[in-house]
Structure 1
Amino acid sequence: MQTISPLLTDFYQLTMMQAYYDHGMEDEAVFEFFVRKLPSERKFFVASGLEQVVEYLETVHFSEADIDFLRRDGRFNENFLNRIRDFEFSGSVDAMAEGTLFFTDEPILRITAPLPVAQLVETRIINILQFQTLIASKAIRMKQIMPESTLIDYGLRRAHGAEAGLLAARASYIAGFTGTATVAAGMTFSIPVYGTMAHSFIQAHLSERKAFSDFAVSHPDNTVLLLDTYDTIRGAHKAVDLARDLANRNIKIKGVRLDSGDMIKLSRQVRKILDDGGLHDVAIFASGNLDEYALQRFRDEAAAVDGFGIGTKMTTSADVPYLDCAYKLVEYAGQGRRKLAQNKSTWAGRKQVFRNYGDDGTMTGDTMCLAHELHSGEKLIKPVMQQGKRVSQLPTLDETRTYVLKQLGTVPEGLQPDSEEDYYYPVQQSEELVSYCDEVSKVMTRNHD
């Protein structure tokens, strides 16, 4: 990914930063990123985007062009402009491993750095974590519904910008998708790339059969034919007829794609046509406005579909297009800090999350506590950066994907997307955390009266 200017931020981050420098407020600050609310359409979240956060923090700096722009703006003093010339992130990052399943209020990332530094990086960190977590948390629901099916990201053309399309491919792959149609994601992240043909290819030919044949000759190892440009059933019969001619050239049809109509019904009809023609190994692929709700119908009605192209509704997370997430100050100069506003109060202090499992390996509940506490279970938040440097190599994308799929095997039945059980995964706060937050509230209320 390319280096991002620190000016890709909210203006108030810079105005606060100057005020901090002006008034000597440069003590150590601790901020944590978390999601406030679990939408009714989600049972849990998947932490995603940590690698891009680390890359951003490793490279963030102000160029002379950035500084010149701020100087021309006229609202920043020379002391501030001189200070940011040598700006770098030299703080610490603690985080849940990318791909970790998490729940409301649990911090997935903690930044510890001088207050002006920790403040500046807020916007980009939220921008990165919110989007990829949003997409991964949508995509994993489809993996839960169709665990054995091929799932391909088709969403680039409907994504909200180029970076969104690229990172959606990454986030969905983490969540268990098989690959993507976005070629740049293949180059950037080594994600397997898949693709077939468009209706325009067939329309550009005078004959549908000739279009199928030309494509097969050009792509003998990836002959996947789109059947529904004119008539799906007739297209299926043409594919069977063509397969005989292709066999003489040692070309096999790999699959066919359905993109419109009653695809559940059509899939059964097409499967019969293919099987009757001896094409038992030809896969049926479906695409077109699909999501986990559609996949559930395909599964429940026993559609004859082997794989799915998932586009718009996943890449935009159409049913939940944003997360109510936050990056909040929890400690400054060694003292706990918390927001007390109604419905938006926060938990003070550096925190840790412990996850417990039953004898059968199923997740049974989490404990959120202060960072120094010890509780039973697996410790989820671990060091990632210290003094601006990685403490170890981050997992590869495939390792993260494997980690996610392993966790899916530990999810309680109530966390399945199609579960009708009124189930809420238990996350409790430790007594020490509750007591500490009460004391912080008293101090802050007294100081601000």
Structure 2
Amino acid sequence: MKQNLTMLTDYYQINMMYAYYRNEKMHQDVVFDLFFRKTPGKSGYAISAGLEQVVEYIQSLSFTEEDLQYLHDSCGYEKAFINLLRDFKFTGEIYAVPEGTVVFPHEPIVRVKTSIFEAQLIETALLNIVNHQTLIATKASRVVESADDGMVMEFGLRRAQGPDAGLYGSRAAYIGGVQATSNVLAGKKFGIPVKGTHSHAFVQSYPTEKEAFDVFAETYPDNCILLVDTYDTLGSGVPHAIETFRKMKETLGDKFTHYGIRLDSGDLAYMSKEARKQLDEAGFPEAIIVASSDLDEYLIRELKGQGAKIDAWGVGTNLITSKDSPALGGVYKLVAEEEEGVLQPKIKVSENPEKVTTPAYKKVVRFYDKNTKKALVDLVMLEEEQIPDKDFIAFDPVNTWKKKKVHNFEAQELLVPIFKEGKLVYDLPSLDDIQAYTKEQKQRFSPEIRRLVNPHVYHVDLSEPLWELKRDLLSQAKKENNGLG
């Protein structure tokens, strides 16, 4: 059953809806763009996520009688407005980039065209859903990138900022490339593989470490990963694990195959190398070593650089909270409004150049090199513009002297139809398909753009007609608001 999140909105959204209703403006068509101004943390890109939950939200929009009573009693809206909300449903158009798409600042990743009455209500929930899942998918992508071929598991539920952040954070992390989660509810709801070992308390609950290991191995002979740092990692933990492995091999022979140890403290590079020696010398080269303990992409990269013998990584707090960058600053801005039956471009002006919006009903086109299949540039264009079919010059919309000739290319529109006239027209892919798409997408960008620190800046440029429109509207807005028009 889909959750009804209709009331998951800011108070001022409904206040504005009421004002539109009172002033006969509620049916006016508008276009809003959802985008972000800066990639999270030190990342050179982001991974779009959350579209499936956006679809569920839009399909479930409906005020309950309890909702309406609350709005009437607590907010003082008149009954005619309340009755109007009783029949509320989304009737407009939504375009978005598919989940797993590599995206960049200042390009629309969701575009909404509908009445201002509807567009205003859905703003907060769309931002909540897309900001969170895009943030965590991006963090997960970077963690997976740092681990190269190593398995990455998301272990963050207990440190997530609440149940929903843990649940949908697991989903987003899977989109970003993790291979499993410890979150059983996420496994049930989304089909993500679940993995886990045991805690220190399990070891402490038995008279000896060796007895705890034997019990666990006998209970889980097909997945025997033993936590070895409860007392003395190299002095007792690994030796006792080896004794348990010998016992299981004697009992099960070649049927005892998936086993190993988990390190959760200490110098993981040193501990893993020493543990690997002990395991190999004891005749267990196939035993894997799993590491946890406050890992992130930077520490994993450092450990790998120091020759750590770690096969799999359990990443918790720093992933599920995106600890170094705990929020994606996605925004939802009006870019066009109907006037006398025609959509007119709108611009928001700011003293901060980063906050000046790009006006108009737009599309986003990505250009790839025909030979290498690598992405060259993204171009934000007016919807009615023709996509270039021959060489063209792309230029930086701020530093306009920075130019790039784009040739020998193939083009792809990024925004695809999700809803038309309020009806879902998009086939939602499986989560596994989204994860595979993310991996394929990332490979279409150079390693320099995916670099963990000081990544190469990928260009998102404006078409010349759109750039000129923005410049003219900016100049016009300045004149009118300074009394010069």
- Bin for the TM-score computed over the shorter chain: over 0.9
CA contact (8 A) 1:152 1:180 kept: yes
Counterpart residue number, 1:277: 282
Report SS of the residue matched to 1:369.
Answer: strand
Choose which of 468, 471, 474 in structure 2 pairs with 1:435. 468
Choose which of 262, 265, 268 in structure 1 pairs with 2:267. 262
Percent identity of equivalent pairs? 37
Choose which of 374, 378, 382 in structure 1 pairs with 2:416. 382
Report SS of the residue matched to 2:286.
Answer: coil
TM-score relative to the length of structure 2: 0.89
Bigger shift: 36-45 or 208-217? Answer: 36-45
CA contact (8 A) 2:363 2:381 kept: yes
Counterpart residue number, 1:91: 92
Question: How far does residue 121 in structure 1 lie from its aligned partner after superposition?
Answer: 0.5
CA contact (8 A) 1:384 1:390 kept: yes
CA contact (8 A) 2:154 2:173 kept: yes
Q: Distance between the aligned counterparts of 1:272 and 1:400, measured in 2?
A: 39
Amino acid at match of 2:7: L
Q: Distance between the aligned counterparts of 1:322 and 1:136, measured in 2?
A: 12
Q: Distance between the aligned counterparts of 2:425 and 2:257, measured in 1?
A: 50
Counterpart residue number, 2:181: 180
CA RMSD, 1 decimal: 1.6
Q: Distance between the aligned counterparts of 2:251 and 2:58, measured in 1?
A: 54
Question: How far does residue 440 in structure 1 lie from its aligned partner after superposition?
Answer: 3.4
Report SS of the residue matched to 1:72.
Answer: helix
Report SS of the residue matched to 1:60.
Answer: coil
CA contact (8 A) 1:224 1:257 kept: yes
Counterpart residue number, 1:242: 244
Alignment of 1:134-213 (within 5 A): 134-213=135-214
Question: How far does residue 420 in structure 1 lie from its aligned partner after superposition?
Answer: 5.2
The answer to whether 1:21 aligns with 2:16 is: no
Counterpart residue number, 2:310: 305
Question: How far does residue 179 in structure 1 lie from its aligned partner after superposition?
Answer: 1.1
Q: Distance between the aligned counterparts of 2:75 and 2:191, measured in 1?
A: 45
Counterpart residue number, 1:216: 217
Q: Distance between the aligned counterparts of 1:166 and 1:309, measured in 2?
A: 17
1:142-170: CA deviations, max 9, x gaps?
A: 12112311100001100001000011111
Report SS of the residue matched to 1:121.
Answer: helix
1:287-309: CA deviations, max 9, x gaps?
A: 01000000111211111000000
CA contact (8 A) 1:413 1:419 kept: no
CA contact (8 A) 2:2 2:60 kept: no
TM-score relative to the length of structure 1: 0.96
Alignment of 1:21-100 (within 5 A): 21-25=21-25, 26-39=27-40, 41-100=42-101
Counterpart residue number, 1:345: 356
Gaps of 5+ in 1: none
Gaps of 5+ in 2: 389-410
Counterpart residue number, 1:362: 374
Amino acid at match of 2:19: A
1:389-438: CA deviations, max 9, x gaps?
A: 211311111111111101221221321334556x2111211111112223
Counterpart residue number, 1:407: 441
1:78-133: CA deviations, max 9, x gaps?
A: 12101000111111110111111111101100111111111001000000000011
Count of residues paired in the alignment:
448
Report SS of the residue matched to 2:230.
Answer: coil
Question: How far does residue 319 in structure 1 lie from its aligned partner after superposition?
Answer: 0.8
Q: Distance between the aligned counterparts of 1:51 and 1:39, measured in 2?
A: 22
Bigger shift: 83-92 or 240-249? Answer: 240-249
Amino acid at match of 1:239: A
